Structure 1
């Protein structure tokens, strides 16, 4: 296949460092100040967002936008928005009514550090702030509308929230799901927001339909690979390394890839997804090196 015309080769390590720093600065600026009321709510919001995190979703926005030479300043709002949605989802996911977890990123979860009501409100406020950020992105009005719709679809019942509902319904009955049902669950719960991050960067860069199709295939494989690896780490990892409670999936009889496939076949599925990632990016050539690096991280990460 002929290479799709995109930007040239890049220094991956330097780009990653710059994008990470840029995302952290933009998130810090977007969040309400601690010295403004309601201070407890604002403190909870900042606790949810600023105490670590992989920043994979903002990095995907920057890496995909860079593939089409989009200026970082045009990508900041989308990078902030997708991470705020991710942070809100984690705040709510950790609540006693859902996964009931006390540890996130090596820190007390928001409902532990504050209280349940504040955690609910902090999640709600982060979601609202995300849409405010993306609506003000310095892009053409038609592109801004596409960004808002992309984020809304990924975050709602057809995406992340729908996947969470399926996950809750399957908890305690791990063996009741088929592999295809489990993959669909995670395509919504984890994959939808990852696909949105990639698509938003591409939309800001004015990618054509052919490029979008390749990138959507990459993003779908990435989201699933991230989850398969997450399931494996929950079995093999420890809480100190993971920054969250290890072994909870088995304790709650959650549907996971190791539970349904066994560890050997879960690893084989991860290898298949790794090959899909490489194949999807092949048409972009060396310019896709940052996206390839993020894919490799998802497959091989230790936490």
Structure 2
């Protein structure tokens, strides 16, 4: 089942808008440092679903946040996401040669340049958030910086990656894998879905609803990823498949089995949508994302 037309169009529009924001920010300088800038641009402008920046924009729309400001936060999130992909693909991490249908950054350039490109993209993200044009309220900018730092650091994405790398040293039950995935994948998705509420000075109830939505969406999205690793096609996905099984890595699919994992993903998708009950039609695309997350083929 493919994503619906309006969502497909919105994702494509988000991708174009994010690239227009980042093009002048990650610009070649004409200096000897341009090699790392070229690697940054290679990662950022290589396509992808742009799901996380889309969540920023969709949540911002719920609270009538200025779109130019929301785009800057969305661009910062995409920088962090691309940094994480560059580092995840490194030989010391997941050791992948292919990403989005083309050579990974360390294969296209070299390992040292890839490390520096990831480091630089992380720095760019916080530079974007710190600038006044991102939001006129300095308290909002500080909260965005604080929450993105938490989502991407040892409490979130980095911590999840560390757990993943040492997973064979632990008893891998469903609760363990849930925690790993909530940190490695879910934390940045949660930040993205809640960023609009931060920018829009939303109340606790609205923020809680978006947090619940993002939590269930992130887990559903990860289960779908694991299913694609088992059942997907390398040509469609643009990356190697079967790596989890080859590495003996426990996932919810390996622990539950394919059928039960697919059922769990559907339950999580439905729960994510239920969290949006307090929002009107402005949340229609967020609801569509929950369907898309578990029905996508890439």
Alignment TM-score > 0.5, same fold: yes
In 1, are the aligned partners of 2:65 and 2:200 still within 8 Å (CA)? yes
For residues 193 and 56 of structure 2, what CA distance do their matches in structure 1 show? 5
Aligned residue for 1:50?
45
Match of 2:77 among 82, 86, 98: 82
The Cα offsets for residues 10-57 of structure 1, whole Å up to 9 and x where unpaired, read as x76664443332112112232132644312111111111111111001
In 1, are the aligned partners of 2:55 and 2:286 still within 8 Å (CA)? yes
Change (3 A) 1:96 1:14: closer
The Cα offsets for residues 214-267 of structure 1, whole Å up to 9 and x where unpaired, read as 000000011111100000000001111111111111111112111111101101
Aligned residue for 1:5?
none
Give TM-score scaled by structure 1 length: 0.92
Give TM-score scaled by structure 2 length: 0.94
For residues 185 and 30 of structure 1, what CA distance do their matches in structure 2 show? 33
Aligned residue for 1:118?
113
CA RMSD of aligned residues (A): 1.5
TM-superposed deviation, 1:93? 0.3
The Cα offsets for residues 197-221 of structure 1, whole Å up to 9 and x where unpaired, read as 1111211122111000000000001
In 2, are the aligned partners of 1:139 and 1:204 still within 8 Å (CA)? no
Match of 2:161 among 143, 161, 164: 164
TM-superposed deviation, 1:138? 2.9
Aligned residue for 1:27?
22
The Cα offsets for residues 241-296 of structure 1, whole Å up to 9 and x where unpaired, read as 11111111111111211111110110111011011011101110212001111222
Change (3 A) 1:167 1:12: closer
Change (3 A) 1:113 1:16: closer
Moved segments of 4+, more than 3 Å: 11-18, 34-37
| SS of structure 2 residue aligned to 1:101 | coil
Match of 2:237 among 239, 242, 245: 242
**Worse-matched range after superposition: 223-232 or 135-144:** 135-144
The Cα offsets for residues 121-164 of structure 1, whole Å up to 9 and x where unpaired, read as 11111111111011112331010000000100000000000000
Match of 2:276 among 277, 281, 290: 281
2:141 aligned with 1:144, yes or no? yes
Match of 2:174 among 175, 179, 197: 179
In 1, are the aligned partners of 2:151 and 2:188 still within 8 Å (CA)? yes
Match of 1:259 among 254, 260, 263: 254
* Structure 2 residue runs without a partner (length 5+): 1-5
| SS of structure 2 residue aligned to 1:281 | coil
* Structure 1 residue runs without a partner (length 5+): 1-10
Change (3 A) 1:13 1:228: closer
2:217 aligned with 1:226, yes or no? no
